[in-house]
Structure 1
Amino acid sequence: MKIVFYGAGNMASAIFIGMIENRVVEPSDIYLTSRSMQEKIMFFKEKLGVNVSYDDQELLKDADYVILASKPQSFPAVAERIRPYLEPKTKVVSVMAGTQIKTIRRELKTENPIARIMPNTNAMVRHSVNGISYSENFTDRDELIELMESFGTTVTVGEDEMHNITAATGSGSAFLYYIYEMYAESLMELGFDEEEAMFLTRNLVIGAGKMVEDSELSFSDLRKNITSKHGTTEAGLNALDGEGLKKILITTLNAAASRSEELSQDEEE
């Protein structure tokens, strides 16, 4: 198999590292190119044994997949590199937020099968949640799903749902990290020093995550199991409700989904 990555940022590297570590591909199957991240891709070549090239004809010759992992605003320039050498057998897979299949097809001037995926950086620990949508002519989907599930779970959605998937899972880890960050800072306000606050928060997150993983109980039931009437936990939860936590989270997700839609609209103008 030959998988070519145009771009080597955090999302792309999480994907190919997950594939390699889960042994669904060999390092020699992975080809990287990025004119803006030359030092980084050379690091991956030395560390992982992947291939690096800037010769687009060489890169795309006999490629099974080309992964579009550049920034959306850089895609027109990337498309110019790919367009002359893209072979009919090559499947095009995009991880670019907000970039629609019709935009990819227009820029590449191709009828090749195209899929959009929205993974997250949890791919590095094989726990990504991957939203995926396909062009109508992307008929051989099992192989791509197998590749994606080497580093997480996959949810197939219509392309019109990709904005919401981007907000919910593509950006979701960052939202949770920010909550953990604020929790640690709040512990410091209580009087813990920075090291203690980070230690307590980190282990609290790990333990709660393990409870979610190992238990068949809902989030609500897990919460209720440690909430005594008129107790300390109930007092804290009431404060969260009073500050409008749910409303804040809804606003957060809507903002991310709206930005994804804006990126799509910018491409069409």
Structure 2
Amino acid sequence: MVQGDDGSPRRKELRRGEELIAARVSAATKEGRHWGRDGAIALCRRRLGALERLGEGARGYSAFASTYYAAAHYAASRIRLHPSAPFWGVRFFWDLARARHWIERHERAVGGFEKMSAGALDIYAAIKTMTGDCRRYVSRDWADVCYLEAIRVAVEAGGRDDLSDDDQALNLIRRAGLRMRTRTGNGRWTESALNLITEAYSMVPRLTPLTAVRVIRNYGEYFEKIGNLSEAKVHLTAASVLAEQHGLTDQVAKIRPLLARVWEKRLGCVSYF
């Protein structure tokens, strides 16, 4: 760790370097470049090194968890569409395991949930949700353990006073999705989920492009899950168009299989998305 105050030349140099790497991680993630020498994961590893030298390793742990989660999400979106699905399956489970490792390390480093930032809590809830989705194929009760923990964490994050519009919108769609997933709340929580996600959708004009795409995508997913395929198609298409306009390749990759599924349900045949 570099000693001295934030004004020292060495710390300033490290800080500038860390910020530049963070920007590259963000760009690589948006473009769907998660792996390889110049991928988001490799870049995030370099960023973690810089943060540890600055004495801010805990920040790096949550960032690493977020990067691995994004990679796992991207891999999951490719399993359906890519012919080499077994490869993407292995990639998905490995990246999800690494995401869990880093967010748990972050929790220990900061001293528990109460001391985690809203952003870190959101990452934790997202990883628990994805883990629950995997466990659901084995046991719904086992999955519910993850979902209920994710709800607890998401509610904790949503109660923070310093949330930006983007953070608040993402928290709302997270909680809506969890209410739809949890078996004990299935059906009874549908209206509550709609209220949460509609509130998030009303915030779209104030959101950054990436967050707006995620909210619109989730709004479309909600309608697909309750069987309103016309509304689902409208909103998923809008999300896809907005993602393409802003070069959000990873979001386009996530939306395509959702649109394909909607078309299959509407037409009763195989889609060629």
- For normalisation by structure 1, the TM-score amounts to 0.29
- For normalisation by structure 2, the TM-score amounts to 0.29
Bigger RCO (CA 8 Å, 6+ sep): 1
More strand by share: 1
Computing the radius of gyration over CA atoms, which structure comes out larger, 1 or 2? 1
More helix by share: 2
